[in-house]
Chains A and B, each alone.
Chain A
């Protein structure tokens, strides 16, 4: 990949130390919300159905 196309990912890698605590917050929050695979019966799990399918293209293009 060209340097130009990699520049966003490169900036993320440069911010590794600052991002790691935020990722820990997200990880713990997911556990707190019981967003485990196979869980069912909540709006979270319903949405996760969409989130977990490998369709990144439509991640913010679902109905409003």
Chain B
């Protein structure tokens, strides 16, 4: 049983970020309430035994509009938590009222100070930053807590200190750093020098240490692993089962494990979909997911990582989308994403304590 599902209320995004992986972001294909009702049928049973979240993701989920989003949320039980990952450009007073009345937890996408947001652009090619920051300012004005996700396209020395200071000033409670990934329709090269990436993470650790008031996802996970190693409990850290992370596309199709695979097809793997909630209950699709060839290949890939990589205890195996979009298959092992966001992250944290 999953602990959250990702839902795509619309494929449309009103921004056109250069590094975005989404293939259909220029068109407004909306999820029908029937899809939401079908998902809720299973979710409302699952939430009785555990916390459960619906993550509204897009496209830009707010581009679906409040009325439509409310119709999609309506079938879910009150106990289900709703989250939205948004570019913040559409946030206004009415949306803040909506977030509060529907108890939606908000995470914004912003890449740091204005000069770091040059890839976050409008459909007309104009800088999106002023619209982003206006939305975040409105969130703050309403006293709504928020998380932030930041894409770093050029990690290296001299970047992290200003970046972290920016997010301290922004007032986010949680920060996730995504080194740009080569996946989906984004085919930009994501190779970086190991020294540069380590320096980035090391400096971020230093900056965070000076004022650790933000929960920085990557530092938290690194230190959680480090503490487990020192306590000799690292063998208990990895889960015994994969979380399937179902992504429900606008049309009800379901892709497991990696949202980034939704909307793509391959001669050998097909469309990666496990089915459609309009014809098959989500729970039925999750009963034996490895019957899909690409998923069984991915599971083999995880085992290959376990057998060969000394960072496996920290990482748990490379992600499906990174394997596919970097290697063209799922059973390979180390990716550039592994190096940028796992291996050199941990090494950067260790560099920090060594004073390197």
Give A residues with C-beta under 8 Å from B: 4-9, 11-13, 15-16, 18-20, 22-23, 25-26, 28-30, 32-33, 35, 41-44, 46-51, 53-64
Known contacts being A4-B310, A18-B353, is A59 close to B217, with CB within 8 Å? yes
Interface of B is mostly: mixed
- Other-chain contact of B312, A5, A15, A19, A61 (Cβ < 8 Å): A5
Contacts of A18 in B (CB 8 A): 353-354
A-B pairs with lowest CB-CB distance, top 8: A55-B243, A29-B212, A46-B105, A18-B353, A43-B145, A54-B239, A43-B173, A63-B57
- The answer to whether B223 and A61 have CB atoms under 8 Å apart is no
Chain B interface bracket (under 10, 10 to 19, 20 to 34, 35 or more):
35 or more
A-B contact count (CB 8 A): 151
Contacts of A53 in B (CB 8 A): 3, 243
Expressed in whole angstroms, the Cα–Cα distance for A11 and B317 within the complex equals: 20
Known contacts being A19-B230, A44-B174, A54-B239, is A59 close to B221, with CB within 8 Å? yes
- The answer to whether A33 and B55 have CB atoms under 8 Å apart is no
A20 to chain B, nearest CB (A): 8
Known contacts being A29-B212, A32-B213, A57-B239, is A12 close to B85, with CB within 8 Å? no
Q: Which A-chain residue is minimally distant from B212 (CB atoms)?
A: A29
- Other-chain contact of B313, A8, A20, A46, A59 (Cβ < 8 Å): A8
Pull 14 A–B residue pairs with CB atoms less than 8 Å apart, ordered by A: A7-B310, A9-B313, A13-B229, A15-B350, A19-B230, A20-B230, A26-B220, A42-B145, A43-B172, A43-B173, A47-B147, A47-B215, A51-B220, A64-B178
B210 to chain A, nearest CB (A): 10
Contacts of B346 in A (CB 8 A): 8
Expressed in whole angstroms, the Cα–Cα distance for A22 and B212 within the complex equals: 11
Known contacts being A44-B215, A58-B245, is A64 close to B85, with CB within 8 Å? yes
Expressed in whole angstroms, the Cα–Cα distance for A48 and B219 within the complex equals: 14
A44 to chain B, nearest CB (A): 4
Known contacts being A9-B234, A12-B226, is A26 close to B219, with CB within 8 Å? yes
A63 to chain B, nearest CB (A): 4
- The answer to whether A26 and B145 have CB atoms under 8 Å apart is no
- The answer to whether A25 and B212 have CB atoms under 8 Å apart is yes
Expressed in whole angstroms, the Cα–Cα distance for A53 and B4 within the complex equals: 10
Known contacts being A18-B354, A63-B55, is A57 close to B316, with CB within 8 Å? yes
